Copies of this chain bind each other. A is one copy, B any other.
């Protein structure tokens, strides 16, 4: 490697400072979700607001602009140029947002999270509504300041999924919805019926914990570079590639909650733990996009540990941790029960066929909120109407309806589409991967290193040096194509439900 110039070194030092804020903020976020005592919550919002403000100040400073211009013009180091480009993307978006306002917004969101928690607990949307209204207002304003082409919502999509637009989603989502609706109907018409009650049996939390840990080790999560805690909402917190922490939650009467959450978050963590170390300290030491991130978590949750082959190899092993009860449950019944399809109220409990319906509902609502077509106060009503339309079910309470997700309280508008994009990316990548790695054989021998290795080679190690659609095309030699997910689901559920 060519020796860096002194200006390049200074640029990297400057980026390390911003990275320090990010690492501190992620650690504080992990702490807030898993460890903080009740008394500390309010003041934490202020601290997070101030540090986020400092970070934004640096990202939009004149000094940053000078570095960007100089590095883009003079640097012969590709990593430096890529980092400068990423900085420029952030600079161009954020520089128009006044720092004090941004800081107030972050403080508001940090506070809103705990209000949302209380509102959900008390099933009282009115507590949360004023906060949500304010958060939406900020997002509308920020979208204008960030700038966009076409729909205002594109400004938010761009934060999570650069390159993906409303125009694209408005084409892909209805198509996907049609296919999923047809699949759901075929499952419902099938004489084969999953009996989930077979899985819902008391399962000591201590054993679930060991099972989660063992599964994580199995797929290659490095505990020496992370840890597993408990939180209300399962999460992965990537402080840096050497410190990627997970949280899961436990339901004593349903092991699926912890086990599949742990694997899901573990999939996120595999991405972060395997980002190339040469990117550390720069803004490129991150996932390509939220959707690409989700593709990795869904991959391990759905394509690997929910695969028939996985359970053929590991059902006996699973039984060694599980209560006696499972001795009387056959592999066939167990596997079928894992694949129940049912229109339900809660997104994070939804099966792969109905899941994206929840996402599309949120996508429509977010677009309408951002464009001012729907007001915060109208949300509970419209939510319920759309649930009826998309899934044919009606929430009995806001807790099981509009209050179920943390995202809006954290200001995470524009994020939801990434979940379905994650499914689409995962299926498309799986299709390529299977040509290069003997997937079925890997599952027979619990050789997860080969699968993980393929993803590290093609996805993880690149961090944010490539945009999601660019990465997808490079790896799969094709544009985003929803047909792969539809095909995967049709084959899988067709086999299970015999259609």
Chain A interface residues toward B at CB < 8 A:
16-17, 19-21, 23-24, 27-28, 31, 35-40, 42-44, 46-47, 50-51, 54, 222-227, 239-240, 242-243, 245, 280
Contacts and interface: CB of A to CB of B under 8 A. Distances in A.
A239 B223 CA distance: 27
A17 B49 CA distance: 10
B40 A225 contact: yes
A50 B27 CA distance: 15
Contacts of A226: 37, 39
A43 B227 contact: no
> Would you call the interface of chain A mostly helix, strand, loop, or mixed?
helix
Give the most central of A50, A222, A280: most B CB within 10 Å. Answer: A50
A357 to B, nearest CB: 38
Nearest to A18: B50
B38 A224 contact: yes
B223 A37 contact: yes
Contacts of A23: 43, 47
A463 to B, nearest CB: 16
Contacts of A40: 225, 239-240, 242-243
Contacts of A245: 37
A280 B43 CA distance: 10
Contacts of A17: 50, 54
Contact of A16 (B31, B50, B243): B50
Given A27-B27, A27-B28, A27-B31, A20 B46 contact: yes
Contact of A243 (B24, B37, B223, B243): B37
Nearest to A20: B50
Contacts of A225: 37-40
A28 B24 contact: yes
Nearest to A36: B243
A23 B27 CA distance: 12
A128 to B, nearest CB: 23
Contacts of A31: 27, 31
Contacts of A20: 46-47, 50-51
A54 B55 CA distance: 12
A222 B37 CA distance: 10
Given A16-B46, A31-B31, A46-B16, A51 B24 contact: yes
B51 A227 contact: no
Nearest to A280: B43
Enumerate the 10 nearest inter-chain pairs by beta-carbon distance, A residue then B residue, closest first: A40-B243, A39-B225, A39-B242, A20-B50, A20-B47, A23-B47, A24-B24, A38-B224, A43-B240, A37-B227
